[in-house]
A and B are shown apart, each in its own frame.
Chain A
Amino acid sequence: MDIFLQQIINGLTLGAVYAIVALGYTMVYGIIQLINFAHGEVVMIGAMTALTVIAGLAGSGVPPLVIVLAGVLAAVPVCMAVGYGLERVAYRPLRHAPRLSPLITAIGMSIVLQHVAMMVWSRNFLAFPQIFPNPVFFVGGAAITGVQITIIVLSLLIMGALTAVVFRTRLGTAMRATAENPEVARLMGIDCDRVIALTFIIGAGLAAVAGVMVGSYYGIAHYTMGFVLGLKAFSAAVLGGIGNIAGAMLGGFLLGLVEALGAGYIGDLTNLCHLPWQPDLVAARCAADGHLVLFGSNYQDVFAFLVLIGVLMFRPEGLLGERVGQRA
C-alpha cells in the first residue's frame, strides 16, 4: 500500500471539512472582526441533529439516500437558527463594545452550546448509523471510500457556490462592502445588521454540512467533537489569512494534508530503531519489539497547532492575507 498517496487522500478529505468550517470563521471575522469561537459547536450540533434524524429513519424502509438527505436538510436549518441566535443574542448587543468582550462571549457561548448539547444528546459517544454500504476504490495502491469522494466533491461544489455568492451577487457585494466600511455601506442603503446576520446564517449552514461530513467520516459524534475541530478550522483560517475566503479554502486543505502526512509519518520518523547508533536500552527494546516509537499517530492533533504557532510567528497575516496594522 502506498502510504504517501493514502495520506494525501485522507488529508484532502479532512482538509475539505476544515475548509468548509474555516469559511464560517473567516466570513464572520471579515465582516465584524470577531472570532466566533462557538462556530465549532455549530458543527457539532449539525452532526448531532443529522444523526438523530438518520438514526430515527434508519430501518424504516425509506431509501438510504433520502434518509441522509433528510438528515442534512434537518441539520442545515437547525444550525442556521443557532448561528442567527448567537449573532442576535450574544454578539449584536456587543457590536460597539471593546473587542475583547465579544471574544470572551464567544468562548462562553461555545461552553453553553456544548452543555446544552450534552443535555440533549447525552455525554456518550453516539454511533452514526451505517445505512449505506461504503464502497472502497483502489487507486495507485491507495484506498478511497465513497464517503471520502462524496466529502471532497461536495465541499468543492459548496466552495464554488459560496465564491459565486460572495463575488457575483448583490448580497455578496453588500457583504464585502459592509466588511470594508459599514458606515459607508449604510449610506448605500445597506442594512448592515441584516447583512451581518446573513453572514452568520450562511456560515452556520456550511457548518451543518461539515458536521454531517465529519460525523459520517468518523462514524461517531460526541458533544465535545466541535471544540478541537473548531480550533483546527480556525487555525486553517489563520493559515490562509483570516478574513480571506480563498485563504480559508487553501488553509483548510493544507492543514488537512499536513495533519494526515504528519500522522502517517511521525511514527516512522521518530522510531528510535532507525537510529544508526542506539544506546543499549534502546537496542534491547528494538531487538524485542522491532520498534520503539517516540510519537505515534495519536499526536495528529499537534500538527494543526504547530502550524498555527508557526504562522503566527512568521507570517501572522497568513498565506493570502494582506498585511494589516495591529488591530487588537
Chain B
Amino acid sequence: MSMLQVQGLKVAYGGIQAVKGIDFEVAAGEVVCLIGANGAGKSTTLKALARMVPAQGSVRYDGHDILHLPPHALVGRGLALVPEGRGVFGRLTVAENLRMGAYTRRDTPEIARDLESVFELLPRLRERQRQTAGTLSGGEQQMLAIGRALMGRPRLLLLDEPSMGLAPIMVQKVFEVIRSVSQQGMTILLVEQNARLALAIASRGYVMESGTITLTDAAATLLDDPRVREAYLGGE
C-alpha cells in the first residue's frame, strides 16, 4: 500500500482553480518528484498536503485521511514540509530553529541524538548553531530548513523547491544532502522547477501543467521523453 495516496485533489485560490483534481501516490522509501513550469500548481499541491491551503479531494497518508486535520497535527504523524523559500526563523538561533523542528517530541535523549546526526549530516550548522538563522547564506538556510524538518523524525518529507534562489554550487550541495537522506530510507516527495536535478534524484516523476498531471513515468524514462526534454530540459 502506498504511504501517500492522493485522489481528486483540488485547490482553489481566490476564484482560480490552481489544482484541478489530480491523482498521485508515493510508496514508502521512494523519492518521487513533481516537476513542471512556474505556476503549474506544484507548490500549491504540497501546501495542500501540509494543510496550509484549503483543499478538496482525498489525501490518505498511512491509510488515514489527513485533509480534515489542523496543520499543526501533521508533524506528530511523521509528515514534514520544507517550505518554499526555506522559512527559517531568522531571529532564532540555528540551534533554536532545529529544536523547533522537534517541538512536538518529548523524548529528550532521542532529540539530542537526532541533533547530533543532523550536525553530522550538515556540519556547517554545528559551527553556526549559536548564530541567528537570518545571518546564514541562502544555501545554509536551506540546509537548516531540511535539518529542522528532520528533527521532527518524519517518515514522509515534502520538499518545496529546495534549489530556488541558490547558487549552482549550493544547489549541488543541497541535492547531495537530499540524496543521502533518501539513502537512509526516507520517503521524499520533491517539488522542483529544475527538472533535470529532480529527475536525477527521483525514482518516479509526475509532470504538472496548469493544475493537472499530464505525464507520469519512471524518472529515467521521463528524462528521455522528448516532450519533457522539449518543455523542461531546454530541448537538448
Contact = CB atoms under 8 A, between A and B. Distances in A.
Interface of A: 170, 173-174, 176-177, 180-181, 183-192
B200 interface: no
B64 interface: no
Given A189-B75, A189-B76, A189-B152, A184 B89 contact: yes
Contacts of B36: none
A321 to B, nearest CB: 13
Nearest to B105: A189
B92 interface: yes
Nearest to B86: A184
A183 B88 CA distance: 11
B75 A187 contact: yes
A82 to B, nearest CB: 26
B101 interface: yes
B163 to A, nearest CB: 19
A94 B148 CA distance: 31
Interface in B92-144: 92, 96, 99-101, 103-104
A192 B83 CA distance: 17
A173 B92 contact: yes
A185 B104 CA distance: 11
B91 A183 contact: no
A170 B111 CA distance: 13
Contact of A188 (B52, B75, B90, B91): B75
Binding site of A, secondary structure by majority: helix, strand, loop or mixed?
A: helix
A10 to B, nearest CB: 36
B92 to A, nearest CB: 6
Closest 8 CB pairs of A and B: A189-B75, A189-B104, A184-B87, A186-B71, A186-B72, A188-B100, A188-B103, A191-B72
Contacts of A191: 70, 72
Nearest to A183: B52
A237 B152 CA distance: 36
B38 to A, nearest CB: 21
A192 B96 contact: no
- Select the residue from B81, B89, B99 with max chain A CB neighbours within 10 A: B89
Contacts of B52: 183, 186-187
B87 A181 contact: yes
B146 to A, nearest CB: 13
A173 B73 CA distance: 19
Contacts of A188: 72, 75, 100-101, 103-104, 148, 152
A170 B103 contact: yes
A184 B50 CA distance: 10
B99 A173 contact: yes
Nearest to A195: B72
Interface string B58-71: 00000000000011
Interface of B: 50, 52, 70-76, 80-81, 83, 87, 89-92, 96, 99-101, 103-104, 148, 152
A191 B75 CA distance: 11
20 contacts: A173-B100, A176-B92, A177-B92, A184-B89, A185-B100, A186-B72, A187-B52, A187-B81, A188-B100, A188-B104, A188-B148, A188-B152, A189-B73, A189-B74, A189-B103, A190-B72, A190-B100, A190-B103, A191-B70, A192-B72
A180 B75 contact: no
A187 B92 contact: no
B80 A187 contact: yes
A180 B72 contact: no
Interface centre among B80, B103, B152 (most CB of A within 10 A): B103
Nearest to B134: A180
A170 B100 CA distance: 8
Contacts of A187: 50, 52, 71-72, 74-75, 80-81, 83, 87
Contacts of B71: 186-187
B149 to A, nearest CB: 8
A177 B133 CA distance: 12
Contacts of A177: 89, 92, 96, 100
A188 B80 CA distance: 8
B91 A176 contact: yes
A181 B70 CA distance: 17
A214 B120 CA distance: 54
A189 B92 contact: no
Contacts of B83: 183-184, 187
A91 to B, nearest CB: 19
B6 to A, nearest CB: 19
Nearest to B104: A189
Given A180-B91, A181-B89, A186-B72, 17 more contacts: A170-B99, A173-B92, A176-B89, A176-B92, A176-B96, A186-B52, A187-B52, A187-B71, A187-B72, A187-B75, A187-B81, A188-B100, A188-B104, A188-B152, A189-B76, A189-B103, A191-B70
